[in-house]
Chain A
Amino acid sequence: MGKSTNVSGQAYAFMAMTPVKPGEEEALATYLRGLRDAGPSPFARVARTHLARFVIVPDFHNDRTWGQRKEEHLEVPYLIFTSNFDGDLDSYLDELCKALGPETEQIWGRCIGCPENASGATLKRYLKHNQIDTGIFFAAYGTAPIGKVKQALAHREQVMEFARTSQGLEAAALQKAFLAQFGGND
């Protein structure tokens, strides 16, 4: 089997488009927009998530001057959920569906076809059913899992600080300070 078009390095691009129930668009939008003020994003509980988003698409854009012979409209608004994460899809969705328990009903519970009180395997099945495959996935640092990214950022800060505080040290003192700060691997 060939490499999935959703994969770049070890990173995976997931996308699900789910139809919003008629009359629920405003409540869903209000809920999603309020997540930021309600505390840390629910995605913070899914440790493998680099970047993720919810977008409600109300309709396609139609413009007669563009030469499109017939207009095309969505019959209902769609909720797009995309995530850029580490590793394989199945285990990620297991973690996501577990971690987003409290939010699930407020989000996909407002979408057509989502089973009532969906969670765990039921929600995972629903999301996979609505998955849209990616054609091209570009990941600038797709070989680096999130732990490595955070560690590298922390080390960068530490190196900058060390370079500042170690100025003027004699060779032996410099080595001692370096080993104390960063350790030494034999």
Chain B
Amino acid sequence: MSANATPAGPITATGTASRNACGQAIAITVFSTIKWWGRLFLPVLFFLTRNFPKLTVTLRQLSFIHFARWAVVTKMPYNGPPQRKGRLRYPHMYFESNFNGGWEEYIDAFSHILANGMSAFWGSSYGFPKPLPTSPFKAYIQVNETEADHYYSAYPDATSTMIQRALVLDDKLAALQRRAKSMEPEAFAAAYRAFLTDVQHCI
């Protein structure tokens, strides 16, 4: 499977509840319970991932993700009874993603392209079945997933791919705009054709 397999144009969200969708944007929200050693391992993994951007190159190639996050929850902030004070018995990992496309395709892409990354992130979670084959992994995500009660996107018609390509196009358009007025017509026409060729993959 290609890392850039998701088309830039609109596609229909499939495989998830309608409350997890806002136009093209799809929400996934997952909690998993972490084994004792994950409490030590995950902060190190997070630190390395944050500080060595090469580790996220593959994640960046999954161009259908807008925003994603992982957090380890070890205690709940105390707000008074009937909450219990203190730490949770186990740490829990929160994962959310904002992406576009089908739910199954999303998990498939994660499993095939980021197999090592998935094992690193979820390997310390109870019940994690390894990313491949994908069916047990999908079942694992499903039982740990919670449906959104309200989900919002500021640009529901746009996919992440569309946005990333539009930003590239916009920079190149600005460069042409800067030169356009002072150019001779023939030189402008040549520059415009070169611009169109250059941004063909963005439109």
Contact = CB atoms under 8 A, between A and B. Distances in A.
A60 to B, nearest CB: 6
A44 interface: yes
B151 to A, nearest CB: 5
B173 interface: yes
B177 A51 contact: no
Given A132-B71, A138-B56, A174-B188, A112 B80 contact: yes
Contacts of A28: 149
A179 B180 contact: yes
B71 to A, nearest CB: 5
Contact of A68 (B81, B90, B180): B90
A17 B50 CA distance: 24
B181 A112 contact: no
A150 B199 CA distance: 18
B127 A66 contact: yes
A70 B88 CA distance: 12
Contacts of B31: 57, 60-61
Nearest to B179: A184
Given A66-B126, A140-B67, A51 B147 contact: no
Interface in B147-178: 147-155, 158, 160, 162-167, 169-170, 173-174, 177-178
Given A60-B33, A153-B166, A70 B148 contact: no
A171 B67 contact: no
Q: Which size bracket describes the interface of A in this complex?
A: 35 or more
A86 B169 CA distance: 21
B82 A75 contact: yes
A56 B36 CA distance: 26
- Chain B contact residues, majority secondary structure: mixed
B27 interface: yes
Contact of A178 (B33, B150, B178, B188): B188
A136 interface: yes
Nearest to A153: B166
Contacts of A18: 79
Contacts of A140: 60, 63, 65-67, 160, 163-164
Interface stretch (B92-100, B102-110, B130-138): B92-100
B158 A153 contact: yes
Nearest to B193: A174
A150 B146 contact: no
22 contacts: A17-B76, A54-B151, A55-B149, A66-B127, A68-B126, A68-B127, A75-B84, A76-B82, A129-B77, A135-B43, A138-B56, A140-B160, A144-B163, A148-B170, A150-B154, A151-B170, A153-B155, A153-B166, A155-B169, A159-B173, A171-B186, A175-B185
Interface of B: 19, 22, 25, 27, 29, 31-33, 42-43, 46, 49-50, 56, 59-60, 63, 65-73, 76-77, 79-84, 88-90, 92, 94, 96, 98, 126-127, 143-144, 146-155, 158, 160, 162-167, 169-170, 173-174, 177-178, 180-183, 185-186, 188-189, 192, 196, 199, 202-203
